Structure 1
Amino acid sequence: MHYIESGAGTPLVLLHAFPVDARMWNPLRVRLEDQARVIAPDQRGLGESSLDGSSAHGLATPPEERLVAETPSVDVVAADILALLDELELPRVVLGGCSMGGYVASALLRAAPQRVAGLLLIDTKAPADTDAERAKRGDVADRAEREGTAQWLSEAMLPALLGATTRENHPEIVAAVRDLIESQPTEGVAWAQRAMAQRPDCLDTLQGFEGPAMVVVGEEDTITPTAEARRMAEALPRGELVELPGSGHLPSMEAPEALAEAVRPWLSRVDV
């Protein structure tokens, strides 16, 4: 599994959104690396991580263990992350995820709660997809396999991923996110969509987490709006809610300074 790592201190694992990769965390990572050891993996099939799991454990995976590529699931990605933590000899970490990364973080929390010292959920949600949402994901996956993803995927997703402030005032961020989307492998895009479509509701999992938790939402996020963030924060026994003005679904790129200012004091209170 490919990952980007920098800094020293509290181990903080950040899981990226769809359809981008670990580079979405760079603007935030450089603002936290004097306080935390920030580890940002490319999730299975995206960025530089393979789809078949052949490098998910840092070693060649036997063929009989590569069936997971045929069964898309956020649980599979969570298992990849747990294997990475084992490889890095990290028994407990602060776990963060944005959007799809939040779904994977919840899956990891469900599988191995003892590995999570603190939980950072950014622009994500707890409910499973509706039938209509699952159908839409299936359509995107099918089109990606049929046509590739050049141009149409970024054009379809940018208006939703980025807030109005970013789209109107920061063309450089729009261009950077477009480049990230355009660089993703077609097969990984399709696999990730099908994995997200099959995820379960995770509200019960969040209600059972007794550790410190922060839920962050961009005030201009239309994909997972403030109401969804508030629902998670209220479900978490030690949940805190932070709203970021002028940001949409990707605050690590749209408002990294404001996000870092929110995360820093919270992170200092997490006992790993």
Structure 2
Amino acid sequence: MQWDEVRTFAHDGRTLVTHIARGSDPRQFVLIHGIGVASTYFTRLAAELSRSGTVHVLELPGNGSAPEPPEVMSIEDSAALVAAYISAEGLDRPTVVGHSMGAQIVSDLALQHPGHVPRIVLIGAVVDPSAPTALGQGLRLAHDTLRETPSANRVVLTDYLRTGPRWYLKTLGPMMTYDLARTLPLLHADVLIIRGERDPISRGPWARTMADLAPRSRLVEIPGGAHVVQYTHPEEIAALIVDHARGGHSLPTGAADLG
């Protein structure tokens, strides 16, 4: 897709890159990627969401085209940087969406700033406690590539190459040690949890546990989707996000509402 604007944002010695798709509706969406990836795998979702508002796709420091920070950032550090961006842009109570590790960042953002982030969306959230090691997560990631479409694998690989393996490995520690299960019960935000029904990384029992832990939550599974479900099923995911932003509970055809 053609971005309307690409620019950098610096705060406290850390710089992120923002890709913006502007919509005519005043609604605002902020998209946060997972480990090692960047903006590319969000392009299809951003194109759909831009029909209903302005979309801000962030590349966190060290990922994609964003320069590496002086030191590795914790999940809490990343959440604080996203909060600084939202404040600097004057975004009024945006709907913030995180995929995979990005779901950790979005959750911590909602914890740090409950009044400014009323609705969040967690897609394929990690780390599933049934695979608590980096090796276990790596094996599940390899499994996921067998369930994704060729184009999804290609776009994820493109993002991985832009970020590079060194920064990926540096970021792995903060992701593996962040305890999402401790954060979720403390949230005041409305939480929409989405997973592809074939996702081997963020599995069904873990998704149901997250839905039970978050006080105000809803869990939806997308038929046929794997981990990168926002790329392979952008229309369904966008419809869910927009409906969540409006406070609704509609479902795209075939999706299963599990609570």
Give the alignment of 1:177-192 within 5 angstroms: 177-192=156-171
Q: Normalised by the size of structure 2, how large is the TM-score?
A: 0.79
Quote how far apart the aligned CAs of 1:11 are. Answer: 1.5
* 1:71-113 deviation digits (Å, cap 9, x = unpaired): 5411111121112112212253211101110111122222222
The answer to whether residue 42 in structure 2 is matched with residue 45 in structure 1 is no
Q: 1:31 to 1:163 in 2, by over 3 A?
A: farther
Quote how far apart the aligned CAs of 1:163 are. Answer: 6.0
The equivalent of 1:120 in structure 2 is 121
Bigger CA radius of gyration:
1
* Distance across 2 between alignment mates of 1:136 and 1:207: 26
Deviation above 6 Å: which 4+ runs of structure 1?
126-130
The equivalent of 1:30 in structure 2 is 47
Whether the aligned pair in 2 keeps the contact of 1:117 and 1:211 (CA below 8 Å) is yes
- Out of 172, 194, 201, the residue aligned to residue 193 of structure 1 is 172
Whether the aligned pair in 2 keeps the contact of 1:162 and 1:221 (CA below 8 Å) is no
* Structure 2 residues not aligned, in runs of 5+: 1-15, 249-259
* Distance across 1 between alignment mates of 2:169 and 2:126: 21
The letter for the 2-side match of 1:214 is L
Q: 1:204 to 1:171 in 2, by over 3 A?
A: closer
Whether the aligned pair in 1 keeps the contact of 2:107 and 2:120 (CA below 8 Å) is no
Point out the structure with the larger helix share. Answer: 1
Quote how far apart the aligned CAs of 1:119 are. Answer: 1.0
Whether the aligned pair in 1 keeps the contact of 2:17 and 2:65 (CA below 8 Å) is yes
The letter for the 2-side match of 1:90 is L
Give the alignment of 1:91-240 within 5 angstroms: 91-125=92-126, 133=133, 159-162=142-145, 164=147, 166=148, 170-199=149-178, 201-240=179-218
Point out the structure with the larger strand share. Answer: 2
Q: Normalised by the size of structure 1, how large is the TM-score?
A: 0.76
Quote how far apart the aligned CAs of 1:19 are. Answer: 2.1
* Distance across 1 between alignment mates of 2:118 and 2:90: 15
Quote how far apart the aligned CAs of 1:209 are. Answer: 2.3
Whether the aligned pair in 2 keeps the contact of 1:73 and 1:198 (CA below 8 Å) is no
Higher relative contact order (CA closer than 8 Å, sequence separation 6+): 1
- Out of 245, 249, 266, the residue aligned to residue 227 of structure 2 is 249
